[in-house]
Structure 1
Amino acid sequence: MFTDISMGASVLGKHFSVKDRHRSVLHEQLSLKYIHEEQTLYIKWDGEVSSSELRQGYAHIMNMVFTYKPQKWIMDLQNRHTIEKEDQQWVFKYIFPEVLRAVNKNVFVAIVMPVFAYNSLVNEIDGDELIDGDNLMIIHHFLYQEESRRWLREMAETDLKIA
């Protein structure tokens, strides 16, 4: 489900036509919502995701980024199957730098995922992808969503004091 919780708006129609036969597959694999009260973008991937579906999903995510410019993200990957190494690198090389340019502030990403998957996610990046001028993308791994929310609140408070 792709929704803006406080406005109830669906962004699904912006990327798919009624005739798109792949719509239901992606709809089952990606939940995306922005909650205004928390100023947080929630992303949840489930199941097996092909390269094409991953890119399609990130088109939805970027639509939300351009619309709301969220500094705080919770990305729940607990139930997503492992994606190809090239797809992981694509996200870090192309998506995250674009996010930093669009938001134009520090971005805090709380990733909720099983411990065994964490090393493969961050092993191949050099960090340049997570910097744009004076802005940083700070990524932290969590086992539980509540823990990630607490960290995001602390990071947002710290970032506001520094700014």
Structure 2
Amino acid sequence: MYRDNLIGANAFGKHFSVKDKNRSVLQEQLILKYNHDEQTLYIKWEGEVSSNELRQGYAHIMNMVLTYKPQKWIMDLQNRLSIEKEDQQWVFKYIFPQVLRAVNKNVFVAIVMPVFAYNSLVNEIDGDELMDGDNFMIIHHFLYQEESRRWLLEMAETDLKIA
């Protein structure tokens, strides 16, 4: 399901399957929750995250995506240390397309992060990763979580009117 053509294996590589409930939980680096009232997936990464931990974390995230099909995300990266360029590209090339296919609607991602980190995040993508048929992943950068929540509410209302 999560094919990584670069390594010729599952996109989560040799780490584990998304359905593997016994995988280690990144209790110090990753906080995940789904708010049913807001219909929003909250993702908070903290500290230093290795490539292996990043893939473990995104397996947890994909499990949430497959369960709740969230169109609205708040991804808080304010306290996460930089990750390798290859890991950033892996997320855009393999995870985000899978998210779009799983949700099968537009997905709005509000990323809360320091300004200095934003350019490195979007500098290497061409945009094809953020489209699946008529559905798009729309990513916007924010300095504060409350600001991101207002944007998500506005985008969800606009998306519902268009649909």
Normalization by structure 1: what TM-score? Answer: 0.87
Aligned to 1:88: 88
Which segments of structure 1 move beyond 3 Å, counting only runs of 4 or more? Answer: none
> Partner of 1:28: helix, strand, or coil?
coil
Aligned to 2:21: 15
- Tell me how far apart the structure 2 counterparts of residues 38 and 128 of structure 1 sit (CA, whole Å): 28
One-letter code aligned to 1:16: N
Is the contact between residue 100 and residue 132 of structure 1 (CA under 8 Å) also seen in structure 2? yes
Aligned to 2:3: none
1:51-70 aligned within 5 A: 51-70=51-70
> Partner of 2:79: helix, strand, or coil?
strand
- Tell me how far apart the structure 2 counterparts of residues 16 and 92 of structure 1 sit (CA, whole Å): 26
Deviation at 1:16, TM superposition (A): 2.5
Cα deviation code 1:66-125 (max 9, x no counterpart): 000000000000000000000000000000000000000000000000000000000000
1:25-36 aligned within 5 A: 26-36=26-36
> Partner of 2:27: helix, strand, or coil?
helix
Is the contact between residue 109 and residue 140 of structure 1 (CA under 8 Å) also seen in structure 2? yes
Alignment gaps of 5+ in structure 1: 1-12
> Partner of 1:160: helix, strand, or coil?
helix
Deviation at 1:27, TM superposition (A): 1.0
Q: CA RMSD in A?
A: 1.2
1:146 aligns with 2:146: yes
Structure with greater helix percent? 1
Is the contact between residue 15 and residue 60 of structure 1 (CA under 8 Å) also seen in structure 2? no
Normalization by structure 2: what TM-score? Answer: 0.87
